[in-house]
Structure 1
Amino acid sequence: MIRAIRETVGSVFSTRHIRWMEFAWPALLLAAGLLFIGLVFIDAMSLSQSNLGGSGAAGRIDFENHKQKVLVAIPVFFAGLFLRPMWLRRFTPLIYLACIALLVLVQLIGDERNNAKRWIQLPRFDLQPSELAKVGTILMLAKVLQSSRLDTLGEWLKPLLVALLPMVLVAIQPDLGTALTIVPVTLGLIYLAGGSGVVISAMLGATALSGFLAFQSGLLQGYQMERVETWIESFDTDDLIAARNGTAFHTFYARTFTGNGGAFGRGLGEGVANETGLLPERDCDSIIAVIAEEWGFYRTAALILAYGLMVVFLMISASGLRDRYARLVVGGVAIYFAAHLFINVSVNVGLLPMTGLTLPLLSTGGSSLLATFLALGLALGLGSHHERDLGSDAFRRY
């Protein structure tokens, strides 16, 4: 029995095939540093005056709860790290289908909050299937694209359909912001697989046009229409100030506190965002605004640069892989982090409409942490977990 268990585990996980000399240590060290910085800021938030008094519009922030979630997510990271590429490639369709099943299940038994069904209540944990679906979609896109040269219409339709299904299921929750994060990952992976840049640009333009037409025709949800309208009006300073206690509340305070840090910041835990508790979701969606206020422009810029360097090192790791499937997964994870960084920062400085999207490694969130740690573990593992493979394709540029 014990031998059978060991053989079963050995067929799924392996440490012997990892080449530690080829491991993407810079990416891991940067990720660990970002995680540590996030923990420091969230701890400071939990000790702020608004939390000590139990008041504040943004609610109480529980650092101990966040720390426990990080500890739970660490084994998930190692599971992804030691997962055997051959097993992952073989069972990718089942993983993808399981993610789709969870997205369907959330519509049936999900917990409804603020007119949205996004969570499945579990003992001591709320599962958000849309976060795991991002990882499942990356894996399935890599599976579809590994043997595709994108020479025919059918080869283009397959990855688009793979991405469209979870996007639709997430959008009807409704959670349009999370659904749209799949777009850059999909187009980025198609490009890495050899897709024409001209065609991808046309698809991106068509996506933007569809969004504009949906807005003009009123097809968006009421709150989504309100966010877009508020974003457009926020470019006029007078309109933004006038709506600061209404629809532009979050937008106004995110931008205000971001600029309030000046060049060098107000000091850890001494920002007005923490002292007043006025900034909504300051531990997750708007954590970069808190960092900008307390660290200032220069250190926040350095933080964003470090985040970008982590993405670059993951891409470098991907470019050196012979296994096309592994290469696409690692590249997809890099795009996943890059997309979240761009969208989250852009939202908080007013370049994009307000949307509920975390900044992985820095923000709180149970399902987000699980997805982030799993994605990072898979990327680092596949980047150094070499088994015999005859594939020798390289990223192609058309």
Structure 2
Amino acid sequence: MRNAARRDWSARRAVPRGLLHGLRLNHFPFGLLLLALGLFAVGLTFIHSMASVDELFQRDEVSFDSHVKKVVVALPMLVLGALVRPRFLRKHAWTLYAVAIVMLLLVPLVGEERNNARRWIPTPIGFDLQPSELAKLALIVVLARVLHRNRLARLRDWVKPAALALLPMVLVAAQPDLGTAMTIVPVTLGMLYLAGGSGRLISVTVGIVVLVGLSAWKFEWVQDYQLRRIETWAASFDSGALVEGRNGPAFHVYHARVSIGNGGLEGTGLGEGVSSRAGHLPERESDSIFCVVAEELGFARTTLFLACYAALIAGLLRTAAGIRERFTRFVVAGVGLYFAAHFFVNVGVNLGLVPMTGLTLPLLSTGGSSLLTTFLALGLALGLAAQEEPSLDEDAFRA
């Protein structure tokens, strides 16, 4: 028995310790992969439909060919992420975070300005890179690195993870991109809670964030366009004010509500919705793609779509819960929280429950940086869940 154990240990030591490592296929979460690819296929179908309708009406707002080119660049990230070894990722977590911060610092210097915001760095890879998207994934990895030996037992244990999250938040908010910056909050707080952070302290933090947000609105600490978005959102709960502002500040909110309401119970059918045919809904292929889905699928099938997306998030979090090694568990859970934050904010915005902000719906929306980050994050989560890493911390011995 002892000799057999020695042979097994020798065999493990003989395994290369580089970037790539063989997956345990019997542990690979193929169900989650198929669910994610199914949602991605839904997105492809709707984008192709929108592009076809645009072509019919001689518009060029949505390009399916452009989306496919971005997919060709981004999709290999799914495979690459699945092959990354946990030990390699943990070792280089600080490097990844540093690269992300440097890229955010470069945005004001070399970034391209669009719609009064400087968020994109031009690249020759088929789309402009938005560093804020990759920064969220880098933050998840470095937080997992910090928290895998940090139980958050003392107040000072919270300083480092809080500072790590605050730095990219400030840099992203300065672009300005307050919506993307705010998605960092639930991901960070979720990871702190999973690491053993006090629920009471996290609740206090949430209260402080809400108070700061209300103060920013009340005392006009935000950009003028951001203030108008919040005021428009608050006024949109009055149907009369919403209709009155439909050709002004409430244009986007109004057409989002019209599109979703027009779907009814059974939907208008693929390519038959007013959002696609009239083309009035802004960003319908990216930030507002949920409106198109809701209108053309209808309430019943949209509910099924939402349930599938929620199942993907729940599956990622459940997979993380079954991993004993803390670093790997936190990366997988962080990816689940990343999908959850985007899902709830994007759907909430389009339903009018959250002030208007530009945020994609991962796996469905267009956007090269979003696709790149989505596939890389998903690949990391699925691949890490299927790779065995020895763990000697106390979590590994819990039942």
TM over 0.5: yes
Q: Secondary structure at the match of 2:75?
A: helix
Name the residue aligned to 1:61.
62
Name the residue aligned to 2:7.
none
Name the residue aligned to 2:214.
212
Q: How many Å apart are 1:64 and its aligned residue?
A: 1.2
Q: Secondary structure at the match of 1:12?
A: coil
Is the CA contact 1:265–1:296 (under 8 Å) kept in the aligned structure 2?
yes
The amino acid across from 1:22 in the alignment is H
Percent of aligned pairs with the same amino acid: 53
Name the residue aligned to 2:3.
none
Is the CA contact 1:192–1:395 (under 8 Å) kept in the aligned structure 2?
no
Is the CA contact 2:108–2:118 (under 8 Å) kept in the aligned structure 1?
yes
Q: How many Å apart are 1:60 and its aligned residue?
A: 1.4
Once residues 358 and 395 of structure 1 are traced to their aligned partners in structure 2, the CA distance between those partners, rounded to angstroms, is 39
Once residues 86 and 309 of structure 1 are traced to their aligned partners in structure 2, the CA distance between those partners, rounded to angstroms, is 29
Name the residue aligned to 2:131.
129
Q: How many Å apart are 1:391 and its aligned residue?
A: 3.2
The amino acid across from 2:30 in the alignment is W
Is the CA contact 1:69–1:366 (under 8 Å) kept in the aligned structure 2?
yes
Once residues 154 and 101 of structure 1 are traced to their aligned partners in structure 2, the CA distance between those partners, rounded to angstroms, is 27
Q: How many Å apart are 1:23 and its aligned residue?
A: 1.4
1:368/1:319 CA distance change after superposition, 3 Å: same
Counterparts of 1:240-389 in structure 2, within 5 Å, are 240-389=242-391
Q: How many Å apart are 1:67 and its aligned residue?
A: 1.3
Q: Does 1:195 align with 2:200?
A: no
Once residues 340 and 299 of structure 1 are traced to their aligned partners in structure 2, the CA distance between those partners, rounded to angstroms, is 21
| Among 26, 31, 37, the residue aligned to 1:26 | 31
Once residues 237 and 263 of structure 2 are traced to their aligned partners in structure 1, the CA distance between those partners, rounded to angstroms, is 21
Once residues 218 and 54 of structure 1 are traced to their aligned partners in structure 2, the CA distance between those partners, rounded to angstroms, is 42
Q: Secondary structure at the match of 1:270?
A: coil
Once residues 10 and 198 of structure 1 are traced to their aligned partners in structure 2, the CA distance between those partners, rounded to angstroms, is 41
Once residues 54 and 225 of structure 1 are traced to their aligned partners in structure 2, the CA distance between those partners, rounded to angstroms, is 35
Is the CA contact 1:143–1:325 (under 8 Å) kept in the aligned structure 2?
yes
Once residues 83 and 258 of structure 1 are traced to their aligned partners in structure 2, the CA distance between those partners, rounded to angstroms, is 41
Name the residue aligned to 1:11.
18
Q: How many Å apart are 1:339 and its aligned residue?
A: 0.9
Query: 1:150-205: CA deviations, max 9, x gaps?
Result: 11222111111110000000000000000000000000000000111111111001
Normalised TM-score (structure 2): 0.94
Q: How many Å apart are 1:395 and its aligned residue?
A: 12
Q: How many Å apart are 1:71 and its aligned residue?
A: 1.9
Once residues 71 and 308 of structure 1 are traced to their aligned partners in structure 2, the CA distance between those partners, rounded to angstroms, is 26
Name the residue aligned to 1:71.
72
Q: How many Å apart are 1:24 and its aligned residue?
A: 1.4
Q: Secondary structure at the match of 2:26?
A: helix
Is the CA contact 2:71–2:371 (under 8 Å) kept in the aligned structure 1?
yes
1:359/1:110 CA distance change after superposition, 3 Å: same
Once residues 378 and 303 of structure 1 are traced to their aligned partners in structure 2, the CA distance between those partners, rounded to angstroms, is 24
Q: Size of the alignment, in residue pairs?
A: 384
Once residues 349 and 18 of structure 2 are traced to their aligned partners in structure 1, the CA distance between those partners, rounded to angstroms, is 43
Once residues 336 and 318 of structure 1 are traced to their aligned partners in structure 2, the CA distance between those partners, rounded to angstroms, is 13
Q: Secondary structure at the match of 1:126?
A: coil
Is the CA contact 1:251–1:348 (under 8 Å) kept in the aligned structure 2?
yes
Once residues 195 and 336 of structure 1 are traced to their aligned partners in structure 2, the CA distance between those partners, rounded to angstroms, is 19
The amino acid across from 1:330 in the alignment is V
Decide which moves more: 149-158 or 272-281.
149-158
Is the CA contact 1:319–1:395 (under 8 Å) kept in the aligned structure 2?
no
The amino acid across from 1:171 in the alignment is A
Query: 1:92-111: CA deviations, max 9, x gaps?
Result: 00000000000000111101
Structure 1 unpaired stretches of 5+: 1-6
Once residues 234 and 68 of structure 2 are traced to their aligned partners in structure 1, the CA distance between those partners, rounded to angstroms, is 38
Name the residue aligned to 1:87.
88
Is the CA contact 2:133–2:373 (under 8 Å) kept in the aligned structure 1?
yes
1:305/1:395 CA distance change after superposition, 3 Å: farther
Which structure 1 residue ranges, 4+ long, deviate > 6 Å from structure 2?
none
Query: 1:328-358: CA deviations, max 9, x gaps?
Result: 0000100110111101001001000000000
The amino acid across from 1:37 in the alignment is V
Normalised TM-score (structure 1): 0.94
Structure 2 unpaired stretches of 5+: 1-13
1:10/1:155 CA distance change after superposition, 3 Å: closer
Q: How many Å apart are 1:10 and its aligned residue?
A: 6.3
Name the residue aligned to 2:52.
47
Q: How many Å apart are 1:137 and its aligned residue?
A: 0.6
1:394/1:264 CA distance change after superposition, 3 Å: farther
Once residues 104 and 324 of structure 2 are traced to their aligned partners in structure 1, the CA distance between those partners, rounded to angstroms, is 33
Query: 1:235-286: CA deviations, max 9, x gaps?
Result: 0000000000000000000011011100010000110111010000000100
1:303/1:395 CA distance change after superposition, 3 Å: farther
Name the residue aligned to 1:152.
154
The amino acid across from 2:78 in the alignment is F
Is the CA contact 1:284–1:364 (under 8 Å) kept in the aligned structure 2?
yes
Is the CA contact 2:325–2:390 (under 8 Å) kept in the aligned structure 1?
no
Q: How many Å apart are 1:389 and its aligned residue?
A: 3.0
Once residues 76 and 365 of structure 2 are traced to their aligned partners in structure 1, the CA distance between those partners, rounded to angstroms, is 19
Q: How many Å apart are 1:370 and its aligned residue?
A: 0.3
Q: How many Å apart are 1:394 and its aligned residue?
A: 6.5
The amino acid across from 2:341 in the alignment is A
